[in-house]
């Protein structure tokens, strides 16, 4: 019966109808893709910010790169990885996931403000960054320093509710963050310092979950893996922007 059905379909096969079906199917696929892209663009954080945030505050959010949160995951994913490996029951892990998500969001915002303050003169001469609010004068240096202080305080807030060791690990990353952009200007090892600082949440999250204990057999390999992953990501990012830079 199956052979007879296949033979019947083959005998009545119409290449013209099949070609029409292929074309219509491709048109439907392109329309679905365009509709999805339009939906994602309309729901992007940039458009959301323009619709909901008063105009006088938008430049301050642009200073923090609120419209692009990709870099936040560079510190949150290592923290989430350490929380998952802490062996705590999942319901006990949840507060730490939310706490480090908060930390990653505001620490990244503070880092972006500090980066633009330190690169103020350079940003004005680079095509990709000359439109940033500090470079254009839309935000003053005083406002930038205030934003840096506020975001730093908000980033450290959840750490004060965790074990002190997590807080001290976070403080240990501050010198690395402070020198990373300077090292990047004058040497070829800036990415390594940057990655070492961004991945400190591995130790922070493990210490927070286990009341200050950090198993080196778990945290050290996880930290090195996260550093290499960050280097890989940052290298791709740099290559994509090589023409603009």
**Tokens 């840096």 appear where?**
148
Q: What is the rounded distance in angstroms from the CA atom of residue 117 to the CA atom of residue 109?
A: 13
| Confidence label for 227 from pLDDT (cuts 50, 70 and 90) | very high
Checking if the pLDDT of 5 tops 70, the result is: no
Checking if the pLDDT of 74 tops 80, the result is: yes
Q: How many alpha carbons lie under 13 Å from residue 87 in its C-beta half-sphere?
A: 7
Checking if the pLDDT of 43 tops 80, the result is: no
Whole-number pLDDT of residue 193: 87
Q: What is the rounded distance in angstroms from the CA atom of residue 33 to the CA atom of residue 38?
A: 9
Whole-number pLDDT of residue 187: 84
| Confidence label for 44 from pLDDT (cuts 50, 70 and 90) | low
Instruction: For residue 138, give the DSSP letter.
Output: S
CA 32 and chain centroid, separation = 27
Task: Enter the tokens of residue 4.
Answer: 């007879």
What average pLDDT does the segment 179-193 reach?
A: 81
């Amino acid at each position: 019966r199956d052979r007879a059905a296949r033979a019947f379909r083959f005998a009545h096969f119409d290449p013209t109808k099949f070609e029409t079906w292929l074309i219509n199917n491709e048109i439907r696929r392109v329309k679905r893709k365009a509709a999805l892209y339009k939906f994602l663009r309309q729901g992007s954080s940039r458009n959301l910010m323009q619709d909901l945030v008063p105009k006088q505050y938008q430049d301050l959010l642009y200073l923090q790169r609120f419209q692009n949160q990709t870099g936040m995951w560079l510190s949150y994913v290592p923290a989430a990885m350490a929380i998952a490996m802490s062996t705590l029951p999942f319901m006990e892990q949840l507060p730490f996931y939310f706490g480090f998500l908060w930390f990653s969001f505001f620490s990244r915002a503070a880092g972006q403000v500090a980066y633009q303050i330190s690169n103020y003169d350079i940003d004005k001469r680079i095509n990709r960054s000359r439109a940033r609010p500090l470079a254009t004068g839309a935000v003053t240096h005083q406002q930038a320093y205030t934003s840096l202080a506020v975001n730093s305080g908000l980033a450290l807030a959840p750490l004060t509710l965790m074990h002190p060791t997590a807080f001290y690990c976070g403080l240990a990353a501050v010198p690395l963050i402070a020198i990373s952009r300077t090292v990047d200007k004058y040497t070829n090892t800036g990415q390594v310092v940057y990655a070492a600082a961004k991945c400190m949440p591995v130790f922070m999250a493990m210490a927070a979950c286990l009341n200050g204990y950090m198993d080196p057999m778990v945290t050290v390999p996880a930290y090195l893996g996260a550093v290499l992953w960050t280097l890989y990501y940052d290298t791709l990012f740099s290559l994509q922007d090589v023409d603009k830079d």
